[in-house]
């Protein structure tokens, strides 16, 4: 059965908008789990614009599902990951001015840096996923780096409606190739209750990472129900 990991960054974004101590990502995580989430994802950014170390610490103590930490491959973030021990780390590119992650990691350019981080994380008992484009060369490098999983960037698929079929084909082919190399395949970025449906037919995709659309939906229907609706779509869509 395909899995759903819910990204809670925007719960923290709302909290930081008023510099309050609520809404609390930990409380949100519990509701997500009740709604059927298989995991919780948070991105600890270098500027700490939303998720903080305290959130990570409390989530590690509290949630019953898998905790996935998105982070840049830096020494600071590596030390944090080794301190709080999430189940997974997903390495992502990061730049200070971006609103959200722009593009996947370029493993050709960052190979040596990423290798060192992966080796340290694996020594610490943490599983590693790499956020990359649907590109054969990037997938081969992910395998060479001994990552356990990749997360395919679905941003262009979600934004460029005119060429959506083209990007869907690329994602499908990339998923099949990664699976043939014994990499776990995940997908995420910009997915919502509508554009996820074609991706559910790609049997090699084992997990979706979705945040903003669920949190936005929760404004209207509540967080537990929003997660439940997405998980139900995933279950029904792969039948």
Active-site residue set: 43, 70, 189
How big, in percent rounded to 5, are the helix, strand and coil portions of the chain?
50, 20, 35
Q: Is there a cis peptide before residue 79, judged by omega within 30 degrees of 0?
A: no
Pairing of strands 149-153, 184-188: parallel
DSSP label of 47: T
Please state the φ and ψ torsions of residue 148, each to the nearest 5 degrees.
-85, -30
Residue in 23, 20, 59, 32 with CA at minimum distance from that of residue 43: 59
């Amino acid at each position: 059965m395909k899995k759903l990991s819910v990204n809670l960054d925007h719960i923290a974004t709302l909290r930081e908008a008023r510099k309050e101590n609520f809404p609390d990502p930990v409380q949100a995580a519990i509701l997500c789990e009740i709604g059927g989430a298989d995991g919780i994802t948070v991105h600890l950014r270098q500027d700490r614009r939303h998720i903080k170390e305290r959130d990570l610490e409390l989530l590690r103590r509290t949630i019953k599902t898998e905790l996935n930490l998105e982070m840049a491959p830096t020494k600071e973030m590596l030390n944090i990951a080794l301190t709080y021990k999430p189940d997974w780390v997903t390495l992502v590119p990061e730049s200070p001015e971006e609103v959200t992650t722009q593009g996947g990691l370029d493993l050709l350019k960052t190979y040596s840096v990423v290798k060192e981080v992966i080796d340290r994380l694996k020594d610490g008992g943490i599983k590693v996923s790499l956020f990359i484009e649907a590109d054969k060369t990037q997938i081969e490098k992910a395998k060479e780096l001994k990552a356990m999983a990749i997360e395919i960037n679905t941003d262009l698929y979600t934004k460029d409606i005119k060429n959506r079929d083209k990007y869907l084909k690329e994602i499908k082919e990339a998923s099949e190739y990664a699976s043939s190399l014994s990499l776990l395949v995940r997908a995420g970025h910009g997915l919502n209750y509508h554009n996820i449906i074609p991706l559910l037919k790609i049997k090699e995709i084992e997990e979706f990472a979705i945040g903003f659309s669920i949190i936005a939906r929760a404004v209207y229907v509540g967080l537990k129900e929003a997660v439940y609706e997405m998980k139900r779509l995933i279950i029904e869509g792969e039948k």
